[in-house]
Amino acid sequence: MNTTRTRVKICGLTRAEDVSAAVAAGADAVGLVFYPPSSRYVSPENARLLRSQVPAMVSVVALFVNASSDQVKHIIDEVQPDILQFHGDESPEACEQYRHRYMKAFRVGAPGLDTPQAVLDTCRRYDSASAWLFDSYSDGYGGSGKQFDLGLLEAVTANSGSRAVVLAGGLNSDTVGAAIQRAQPFAVDVSSGVESSGGVKCASKIRAFMQTVAQVRE
């Protein structure tokens, strides 16, 4: 999918002022993390408050890692996210059961996701997804600040049937320009690259990131 503008999702927001900073800088989407072990975890109660700060035309993404169906349904009811993001080991059936738009994340470089063809073959199991998100493989689930070999996406980007590509993993204002030029993603997803500490975003880093993304395709 080729576009003239690269969309941006700012993920792992935990504070109202960070939501405001992301929106003011021009983010297309904001991500709320519902994975308790993460430093970016937000409770359903806090998520409702953050969601109320997001204006129309900016999407709210709810991120889950191997959550139970009851947990996901509770967040859908309480927070009313626009998009679900499954960042764990969820099967296609598990992702589809909510009849809700979703993105599936893949930890590139993990066993079974360590060749371009293997990445594409795995992604094809999730053809019902609205986007495929590619993150780096680490002991945790996202937010590691590490990049992965973009060559592993070659089969995905060359395949006309691929879903929208969302690029994550080690992105910041210094690295995102080259990553966009090489992978030509539909969107980029940043978390630790715009933080001052875990779960605390930095408004100046958000602005710098957004400015770099905007300049790449001018």
Strand-pair category, 200-201 with 195-197: antiparallel
Structure token digits, residue 27: 């983010």
- Taking alpha carbons only, the member of 180, 56, 76, 49 closest to residue 86 is 76
Q: Which of 128-132, 137-141, 159-163, 179-183 has the lowest mean pLDDT?
A: 137-141
- Taking alpha carbons only, the member of 48, 38, 208, 212 closest to residue 140 is 38
For the stretch 125-155, pLDDT in tens is: 999 999 999 999 876 665 556 789 999 999 9
**Are 140 and 118 within 8 A, CB to CB?**
no
* pLDDT at residue 59 greater than cutoff 70: yes
pTM tops 0.75, yes or no: yes
pLDDT (0 to 100) of residue 11: 97
Amino acid at 33: V
More confident residue, 98 or 160: 98
pLDDT (0 to 100) of residue 142: 57
Amino acid at 207: R
* pLDDT at residue 101 greater than cutoff 60: yes
**Residues with catalytic annotation?**
11, 135
Judged by DSSP in three states, 164 sits in: strand
> What span, in angstroms and rounded, lies between the C-alpha atoms of 7 and 26?
9
pLDDT averaged over every residue in the chain: 94
* pLDDT at residue 212 greater than cutoff 60: yes
- pLDDT confidence band for 218 (50 / 70 / 90): low
19-35: average pLDDT:
98
Judged by DSSP in three states, 180 sits in: helix
Q: Which of 4-18, 25-39, 133-147 has the lowest mean pLDDT?
A: 133-147
Domains for the chain: give ranges and CATH numbers. 7-216 (3.20.20.70)
* pLDDT at residue 76 greater than cutoff 60: yes
Amino acid at 104: K
pLDDT (0 to 100) of residue 161: 92
> What span, in angstroms and rounded, lies between the C-alpha atoms of 167 and 174?
15
